[in-house]
Amino acid sequence: MKSFLQLIEIEFFKIRHHKLSRFLFSAYFVLLSSIALIAAVKLKIGKLEIHLAEQGIFNFPYIWHFNTWIADFLTFFLVIIVVSMVTNEYNYRTLKQNLIDGLTKKEFVLSKFYFLVVLALLATIFVFVISLILGLIYSDFTSSGIIFKDLYFLPAFFLKLLGIFTLIMFLGFLFKKSAIALGFFFIWTIIEGIIYALLRWQLFDEKTASTLSRFFPYTAMKNLLPQPITRLSAAKNIGKQIGEKIGEFDGIPILSFLIVVIWIGIFVIISYKLLKKRDL
């Protein structure tokens, strides 16, 4: 059984020469860096001038919440890399060739999964660094206690990304065609929304619906990065009301992390089982 490093090396080698993936990867990091540009935005509404950076979006610790949430919008770029790295192996029939050359099905799935871990990790580290820099520049508070508060948004970001990646990887194995895998993914997110609506409006109430739907795969991942907008005014006011609770935000429950970890495990395992069962 090949080692983690060997499998990662194989995967990186395959992607290294793939122009589309390299482009998407670069584009992701370039765009991520441009979060910094939000700092430069000055809105003029009538006589009112709002300089966003002054509003406190880059204040510690709020910046961790805000930046991870914003960065998440760019995840789609990476999703395309993930889906193509699985479906290409079917299109080029290289999956078969890899197996004949001696790669086991288990090693094949693991090499893809390990790569996803590294990808999610790179993105997370990058967001961390960008946020740290922006925070140090713009934040009104820079004591080390404040800087490293609420850092849990970063592992949340990492897990959300990894969750989405493994889900997409599984869909790639299932459907073998990138368009269908992605299409199904979007439809699935809508289906989860519909089921939630049914639970909430038709069958139960809001509380039960939320409790049940948090176990759905995509919803669970979404719950890892709740939207930060409603906290924004509170962040602005923190200077005036030190000691008050920051907005109405209680952090991300541990259960949310756990559910996503389990879904990640499930998707990796059923990808493997699917591969084993199939006659290529």
Partner 1 sequence: MPVTIAIIGRYLYIRIFLIMQNILKVTDLTKKFGRLIAVNHLSFSIQKGRVYGLLGPNGSGKSTTLGMILNVVNKTAGQFQWFDGQLSTAQALKRIGAIIERPNFYPYMTARQNLQLVCKIKEISGDTITEKLQLVGLSDRQHDKFKTYSLGMKQRLAIASALLNNPEMLILDEPTNGLDPKGIHQIREIIKKIAAQGTTIILASHLLDEVEKVCDNVIILQKGRKIFEGSVKDMHLQNNWFEIKAGDMRRLQNLLNESPLVSQTENLGNIIKIYPAHNDVTGSDLNKYLSDRKCYVESLIKKQPRLEEEFLKITT
- Binding residues for partner 1, per CB under 8 A? 2, 6, 9-10, 13-14, 17-19, 88, 92-94, 96-104, 276-280
Query: Is residue 211 exposed (0-12), middle (13-18) or buried (19+ Cβ within 10 Å)?
Result: exposed
User: By C-beta, is 51 or 106 nearer to partner 1?
Assistant: 106
CB of 216 to partner 1, least distance (A): 32
* CB 55, CB 232: distance < 8 Å: yes
d(CA 4, CA 10): 10
User: By C-beta, is 25 or 128 nearer to partner 1?
Assistant: 25
* CB 265, CB 239: distance < 8 Å: no
CB of 92 to partner 1, least distance (A): 6
User: By C-beta, is 48 or 100 nearer to partner 1?
Assistant: 100
Question: Shortest CA distance to 176 belongs to which of 106, 242, 89, 251?
Answer: 89
* CB 65, CB 153: distance < 8 Å: yes
* CB 275, CB 109: distance < 8 Å: yes
CB of 90 to partner 1, least distance (A): 11
User: By C-beta, is 97 or 143 nearer to partner 1?
Assistant: 97
d(CA 109, CA 272): 6
Q: Which helix (H) or strand (E) holds 141?
A: none
User: By C-beta, is 3 or 144 nearer to partner 1?
Assistant: 3
CA 49 to chain centre: 33
b/e sequence 198-209, b meaning 16+ C-beta within 10 Å: ebbeeeeeeeeb
User: By C-beta, is 91 or 143 nearer to partner 1?
Assistant: 91
d(CA 256, CA 220): 6
CB of 94 to partner 1, least distance (A): 5
CB of 95 to partner 1, least distance (A): 9
User: By C-beta, is 95 or 167 nearer to partner 1?
Assistant: 95
CB of 100 to partner 1, least distance (A): 5
d(CA 27, CA 31): 6
CB of 228 to partner 1, least distance (A): 40
CB of 11 to partner 1, least distance (A): 10
Query: Is residue 55 exposed (0-12), middle (13-18) or buried (19+ Cβ within 10 Å)?
Result: middle
